[in-house]
Amino acid sequence: MRLFPRTARRRLSVALVAALLAVGVLSAPLANADDLKDRQKTVERDIKHAQRDLDESSNRMAKAREKLKDARVQLDAARVELATAQGKVAVAQQRDAEMQIELTDAEAALTQARADLETGRTDMRTQQDHVASTISSIYEQGDPDLLAFAALLDSQTAADLTRSNEARNAIVGRDTRAYQELQAAKVLLGVRENQVEAAKEAVAAKREEAAEHLTAMQQLEADATAAEQSVVGLVGERRTAEVEAAAARAADARALKKLKKEDSRIEELLRKRAAAALRRARAAAARAHAQSGPPARSGGYLSPPANGHITSPFGYRIHPIYHYYGLHDGTDFGAACGSPLYAAADGKVISSYWSTVYGNRMIIDNGAVAGVGLATIYNHAVRYTVGEGQQVHRGEVIGYVGSTGWSTGCHLHFTVMANGKAVDPANWL
């Protein structure tokens, strides 16, 4: 028997309860053997049911804890995903606002370019009309060179000739400027037409970019919504897991409390049985007028129960499977699988049963020895060759070493009970 902390400790006590019941549920030490055997079987059956219930309760609690642990991990991941999605949405919304401004500016530039183009077209039409009118007027009046020659002939004085020449130059200069302005208007019109086309392309590009960005932002918002819903779902699962864990823990606690009470009662019955055996031994010794029996620390009353070196002595240690610190209530012999188990002393097999923790288990009552009621317990065997009610003798083969129950390899876990309490086997071997 190992003293496990909290749940594990009580779980193992179920196995001990079965063993102790087989020894001590005998409410009266002097009851007849048939009645004791019947009561023993009834109690063992009840203990097996209690053990199964406790195991199921513990399994529920373990599963609930695993579910809670998984929910917490998933919840943390979902929260990170949600925060990431929300950050992306925020950046996308800011970019969307910037793109709306850029699109508005581009559309305004297009509107202005179109207005400038229309103004340019109006100016060009006006200039064209002006040039056309000028040309018509010139040809209606005659060829400018002939008119200049006629003016030369008609001039009476040098001053008349100068005035006529200046007038002609003014007309020609005016016409030349009108033509140049017309050409400039045409060039400016072409530039403005190019500006309108560029503005159109800019607006189209901005609109396309805005549409693509809107689709991406909608996807990000959908991702954020999904992540938020995932968080909500995981929170619900976490709460459910917590409720299940609490319920399993409560059921386990009730079972453990009941087993602890039963454990104490059985230990008391075992002490009474040991005391009765001592009284019978003392009475027999008194009648024989003799004193016998080894001292409390005989250092050799029990023979080694298996051929193998000691791999783990009696005392506190770290459990090899579950890694908690607790009492190892016996001595482990590292014997080979299938090697014989020997009776450590004469006695009677009072119980042989299966335990989840100890596997195949057998208890031998060795009677009153050195002032105490002594019993020896053999655990993890592959099988036993003797059964309940049989008498065994020191050195007799009673079974074979195995690795049943909670075990990391073939060995014998040998326990010595003195007045119902586990003691160090080294003091008796």
Element (H, E) at 6: helix 6-24
pLDDT at 23: 42
- Asked if 223 contacts 46 with a C-beta cutoff of 8 angstroms, the reply is no
What tokens were used for 77? Answer: 């991941």
Q: How far is CA 408 from CA 2, 188, 320, 402, 405, in A?
A: 15, 97, 8, 11, 9
Q: How far apart are the first and last CA of the chain?
A: 18
Taking the CA of residue 121 as centre, how many other CA atoms within 13 Å lie in the half-sphere pointing to its CB? Answer: 7
Domains of the chain and CATH, by start:
46-292 (1.10.287), 297-429 (2.70.70.10)
Q: Would you say 365 and 346 are in contact if contact means Cβ atoms under 8 Å apart?
A: no
Residue owning tokens 């876990």: 413
Q: Which helix (H) or strand (E) holds 310?
A: strand 310-312
> Which pLDDT tens digits describe the chain residue by residue (429 residues)?
444 344 444 444 444 444 444 444 333 344 455 666 666 667 777 777 777 777 777 777 777 777 777 877 887 887 888 788 888 888 888 888 888 898 898 889 889 988 888 887 887 788 778 777 776 766 666 555 555 556 656 656 767 667 666 666 666 666 677 677 778 878 888 888 898 889 889 889 988 888 888 888 889 888 888 888 877 787 787 778 778 777 766 776 676 677 667 667 766 766 777 777 767 766 665 555 334 333 333 457 899 999 999 999 997 756 555 455 567 789 999 999 999 999 999 999 999 999 988 999 999 999 999 889 999 999 999 999 999 999 999 999 999 999 999 888 999 999 999 999 999 999 999
- Tell me which residue of 340, 343, 311 sits closest to 328, measured CA to CA: 311
Answer for the pair 175, 132: CB distance below 8 angstroms, yes or no: no
Q: Decide: 16 and 259 in contact? Cβ < 8 Å.
A: no
Cα angle: 420, vertex 422, 426; to 5 degrees: 130
**Looking at residue 1, what is its pLDDT?**
40
Please give the DSSP secondary-structure letter assigned to residue 371: T
